[in-house]
Each structure stands twice: as C-alpha cells, then as structure tokens.
Chains A and B, each alone.
Chain A
C-alpha cells in the first residue's frame, strides 16, 4: 500500500496516458483522435511535473528566505515549451481534419480509406481503358 502511495502520481499518469493512447489508435473519428492526443500529452506533462516536485517545497520563485525549499524548475521549463509546441501541432491537426472533410465529406478514417481505395480503382480503370 505504501508503495502505491509513494508512486501514486506515476500510476495514475500511466492510466491517463493509456486512455489517451487507446483513443488515438482505436477510434476512427479524427476529432476524437485529437482529444485523445491532448489527454496523452497532458499526462506526459504531468509525469514530468510530478518528477520535479519536492516534499515541503514551494514554487521556484525566490523568496529571499535561505531556509525555503524550491521544487525543481527545469521540468517546468521543458513542459512550458512542450505545451506551446503541443498546441501548434494541434492546430495543424485540426486544419488537416477540415481539409480532409472538404475532400472526402467524412472525418471517420475507415470511410476515408474506402473512398481512397475506390478513387484508386477508378483511376486504374481509366488508365487501363485507352490502352486496350
């Protein structure tokens, strides 16, 4: 029990990570994939921030009191960068979803795959006909 309490954050973070991972690989709807990716990356952020936490520490803003303990600022900096990069990739993802919907009329990836296959079949038939 104390082992689980000592690593509680890490266990929960991994559960969150796998829920997001499952949404990304199993769900066909692209908006749901994006939300799954958001859950996945937020839980990775949480893993890093949990690593930086020190018991009894405070936020790493200097108070001038030599006795105060500060949590590790380095993971915070790395995750600040990662959050902003994450929203940039999210924006590109949503732009691609809009473009895919304009081209195929659906945002379910199995339906898109069927349409691409039938497009290819039609093109191959069109290429084959003039030759014969």
Chain B
C-alpha cells in the first residue's frame, strides 16, 4: 500500500509538471521543467523496480538532454510566441486519450504476477542468467548477451545520429554559403601573414 501511495503521488507530480510545462512561455523554465520531469520519472522507475532504467533516465534524460537543450537555447530566442489553445489538436489529443483509456479495461491488473508478459521468456532469463551468463544483474545479462544484437543496433543508431548532427551543424548542408566563407578565410590568413611579415 505504501508503495502504491508513492507511485500514485509521483505520477500526479509528473502530470502537474507536464501541465505547467505546456503553459510556460519562457523556454529556460521549460527546459528546467523537462529535466525535473525526467528526474521525477527516474524516481518513479525506482519505485517500479527498474533501477537500471532509473539511473539511465537520470543520467541521459535529465542530464544529457537538458545540456543539449541549454546549448540550443544559447543560440536561439528564449521566449515562446504566446498561443491560445488550439482546438483541433486538443480534440485529437482528447479523443486519442479517450480511446486508449477505453482499451485499458482489457489490460491485466497492475502488478499481477500471472499477466501474459510475465509467463513467456522472462522466467527463462531470470532462471538462466546465473548459470549461463554468470551475471547477477538479469537486466545486464539480457542487454549484453540474450539480446546483444539489440544493443548493437542501438549503437548503430547513436552513431548515425552523431553523424547526422555533425552534418547538420558543420557539413555539406551549408554548401551554398561555403564559397564566401572560404574567401573570407583566405583573406583572414593573408592578413595574418602580412602582419607576420611586417613584424619580421
């Protein structure tokens, strides 16, 4: 019961943060709320027994994402243009939410041990992890061994994203402006060389 109370409270806190994030117009406050949301979500994951997910969410979701957002805010305007509530998107969101909520009734009860998700491969992972992989943390053995290809695919995605960021911010997408940049660069170097000759 205590666990359920903490769980319910953290979820309500998350909902409040999300509503405030929707209403705030200063983007710095928005980014801070986003970090707070991720950190509260990390606490929620601890309550739900997902400790590995919790520290990844705290480090990556609350840490790296916030740093990326702040780096972006240092280059773009920090005020959002005020908006009224948009009726059509609001109706779409409410309707989608209502449909999803109707279907919730078919889900197994929260925390039920005989739910279909718990009787398929998970018992094998838990019973086989110690003898086959030799790692007490079952999440680690599934991540690195049973489902190692997933993790390999994940690193491919990160690599692709890193290349994409480099190309967007520094690469060939700026080709139309490059000639001017090079002219400016060569002029710059020439003037430096001239200065050096003057000094010599």
Contact = CB atoms under 8 A, between A and B. Distances in A.
A95 B50 contact: no
Contacts of B48: 46, 49-50, 52-53, 71
Interface in A10-39: 10-23, 25-29, 31-32, 34-36, 38-39
Contact of B169 (A5, A8, A90, A99): A99
Task: Tell me whether chain B's interface is mostly helix, strand or loop, or mixed.
Answer: helix
B109 A38 contact: no
Interface size class of A (residues with CB under 8 A): 35 or more
Interface in B14-67: 14-15, 18-19, 21-22, 27, 30-31, 33-34, 37-38, 41, 44-45, 48-53, 56-57, 60-61, 64-65
Contacts of A32: 27, 30, 80
Interface of A: 3, 5-23, 25-29, 31-32, 34-36, 38-39, 42-43, 45-46, 49-55, 57-62, 69-81, 83-92, 94-99, 101, 106-108, 111
23 contacts: A8-B4, A8-B11, A9-B7, A10-B107, A10-B110, A12-B12, A16-B15, A18-B93, A18-B97, A23-B21, A32-B30, A35-B69, A46-B41, A49-B50, A53-B110, A60-B126, A74-B117, A80-B139, A85-B154, A87-B61, A88-B161, A99-B168, A107-B76
